[in-house]
Structures are given as C-alpha cells and as structure tokens.
Amino acid sequence: MADETRRLFGTDGIRGVANRDPMTAEMALRLGQAVAQRFRRARRGGRIVIGKDTRLSGYMLESALQAGIVSAGADVLLVGPLPTPGIAFITSSMRADAGVVISASHNPYQDNGIKIFAADGFKLPDEVEAEIERSMEAIGGGNDSARAAPDAIGKAERIDDAVGRYVQFLKHAFPKELTLDGVKIVVDCANGAAYHVAPQVFRELGGAVDEINVWPDGRNINFACGALHPETMAEEVRRSGAAIGIALDGDADRVILADETGNIIDGDQILAILGTRMLATGKLPGATVVATVMSNLGLERALGARNGKLIRTAVGDRYVVEAMRDKGFTLGGEQSGHIVFLDHATTGDGVIAALRVLAVMVEEQKPLSELARTMTRYPQVLLNFAVERKRPFEEMPSVQKLIAKVESELGSDGRVVVRYSGTESKARVMIEGTDESGIRAYAAQIADTLKQALAG
C-alpha cells in the first residue's frame, strides 16, 4: 500500500510536538484502542508492551495509550524508560502481541512520537499502519466496536525486571570468550532511555566505564549531547585517555563512536569495520551489507575492494530491515548510526553495535583509529531547509534537469540524493564527490532551484 494512505504514520511511526495535534493524549487514546483491536487474539484480549524514553510528555502519552488499550480489552505490560530496541526485545521475549514505544528518538524533548512493533519485534509494514489509521478514524467517529464489555476490560502491570532482561540480552552480543578488562570506555547516554542500561552492560563485561549524560530530567534528552552532538563525548575521550567513546541517541537505537584520539566514527564507518571483517571470515551472508541512499560512497568502495556488495534502500532503518529480511542479509544500517544485526536483534541497537566494534578491537588488539582506516570517506555535503509542503519532485522539471546535469558531471565518482524528510517538514540535498568545494557549489545550486520551484 502506498505511503499516501498514511496520514499519521511517517517513516518512523507518528511524530510531532507533544500536546499539539497530532501528538495529543486524545490521539494516543484512540491509537491504543486501534492497536488493541488490531492485535488482540481470540483468547482474552491479548497483551501489549508499552515502553518510553525520558521525555516529560512520555507520562501523558503512556497513560493515554494504556487507557485506550485496556478499554479495548487488552492487557498492558509497562516497562518504563527503556531503549527502543529493548522494547522490541521485551515484546518478543514476553510473547506479547505487540509493543508500543513512546519516543521521538533524536528529536528535542518538546517532540514525541509513537512507533509500534509486532509480536516478533519487527516494525509494522506500511499497510498495517494504514489499517490502524483507518480504525482510529472509525473510533473517532463514535464507533463503539473498539470498546470491550465491562467484564472484558483489560488490566495493566509493570514488568520490574525489564532492564535486567535486556542487559542480559545485550551481553550475549559480545563473544563469551572475550572480556573488556582494561578497556576504558566513555559512554554518553544522551540523558535518554539507555541511562540505566548501557553503563551497566559495559561495566559487567569488565570495562572501565566513564558515563556522562545519565541524569535525565524530562527536558535534557539529546540536549548538546549524545549521538547528535558527539563532540561532547569525543572531548571526554581525549580528556580521560579512553580507548573508545560511545554516544547513543535518546532512545539508543543509534550510535556514533569516537576513536582514542577523539575522531568521530559514524555509522558508515562502523558498517565498513564490521562488514569487511565478516567478509574476511565468510560470515557475511550474500557478501552484502544493506544501507541507505545517504551512505557514503566510501563504504561501497571499501566493501567492493574485498569482493563485497552494498545494497541501498530508502532512508529509514525500517526499509533497511525490510530489505535484509527479504534477501536473508544480516548486517545493515544508516550513516546516522542505526546499525542492525539480524542475527541478534530485530531493529537498530546502538549498544550492540558498540559491543561488536569492541569485540573487533579486543580480538585484533588494534586501536579504533586503525580499524577506521578500512574506509576512505568521500567528501559529502548535506543541506537541509524547511518546506511548507512536499511537492513531488517529478512536478518540478527545472529541479529534475539540474540534478541530471550534476549527476552527469560527477560521473561514477559522485552521487546526488534529493529527498524530503520522513519525520520533519524539510527537504534534504546530499551530494558527494572528490572535490568538496565543487560539490558544495552544486548542492547550493540545487537547493536554490528547489526553493524557487517550491515557491512557484
């Protein structure tokens, strides 16, 4: 089913400013009813997990979702603040019928979002989200069909050991024969959902952990810290003499690293480090890594030099996962730090990605700076600007003509990607090539032409 059938759901669930349409308690109540209606089984009601990050508005949306779900006859399992991948794990581990995550990921605290996992821990396909939206519309129209009879109303209970369960799950991603003894690690939890999980994992594996931004107050999530601002973590690495820095985002489904000198290591470089090692040991199915159209050409070349391949998808980790599942691949991700290991998890997990890189460092006894040289980055320019509406690019011939001209001039040593954000009202122009000043000029030219076309 085409994306235009979904008005609420974007590339990563429903997202918006908290307590403003659509991210309201009223919407969450109807969503809870629709989710319970969609996933409840013939047995009494079914069970649905609800987890969240540390945003202030999480309390409001959690209560509304809970009310909607139990009013529709399903039970709720509350796990409180837990990384998005942790909620996917708990959903599958507890044999629940669905999982709901309240998080706006890397966005500021004023925003919030809701995304849904099926019983197997995977995000829902577009057509199921569209079906849920139609159910919400019917419920909003006064349809009582979603409401359970008085004796069939659901109940809610808290899963007190969710953190412990998830910590054990994460530790299994690190080889049993290895230890992090003597490895000094800086962990930046972005004052988000991993604040009580990530430091514990690295510490229990033997690491000497320097934890920062682990004091969430509802308003400081992602603020000048975490994966969006890795310079904070990198500076702490330089100051403390750590071997690695690990910066997670607010819901810990993405990670950005720093080597021992404080140089930033992004998702493409992580994929290059891990992909090339898996190629060398014959452990990369199809000799293929899955990434998005935004991933650097350097990743493609690093894999190609070792007889590996890169498959690109639309932006969004859900599309990466769909391609991986379709073809049986196990490693994929995004430049932004969503790294997916389908041999261990169902969605991007920043802690697992960091553990896999640490395993390579320990096994090969090499510093991260040396491992990162696996990939040579091509200069890449990304311009973002706000748009009032997302007019189809095919309706703007001037933009299409200019893109074709730039692509022709770049040849095989460059790429052009022009797209709209799936979570914000923004257009994005990305160009990469060998000459940074040249591609910067190209990007500005395309952005200006796009702005003019949109204004017209």
CA nearest neighbour of 362 among 231, 182, 226: 182
The three-class DSSP label of residue 331 is: strand
Residue 213 burial (CB < 10 Å; 0-12/13-18/19+)? buried
Residue 239's identity, in one-letter code, is: R
End-to-end CA distance of the chain: 31
Q: What is the CA radius of gyration of the chain?
A: 22
Q: Which residues are catalytic?
A: 105
CB atoms within 10 A of CB 152: 12
**In this structure, what token pair is assigned to residue 385?**
């600007």
Distance CA 237, CA 425 (A): 35
Amino acid at 348: G
Distance CA 376, CA 127 (A): 39
DSSP codes joined into one string, 120-156: TSPBPPHHHHHHHHHHHHHHHTT-GGGSPPGGG---E
CA distance linking residue 207 with residue 203, whole number of Å: 5
Q: What is the dihedral of CA 110, 16, 80, 86, to 10 degrees?
A: -120
The answer to whether residues 428 and 383 touch, using CB atoms and an 8 Å cutoff, is: yes
Q: How far is CA 49 from CA 5, 85, 113, 198, in A?
A: 26, 13, 16, 21
- Side-chain-side CA neighbours of 302 within 13 Å: the count stands at 27
User: Is 314 exposed, middle or buried (CB count within 10 Å of its CB: 0-12, 13-18, 19+)?
Assistant: middle
297 phi/psi in degrees, rounded to 5: -60, -25
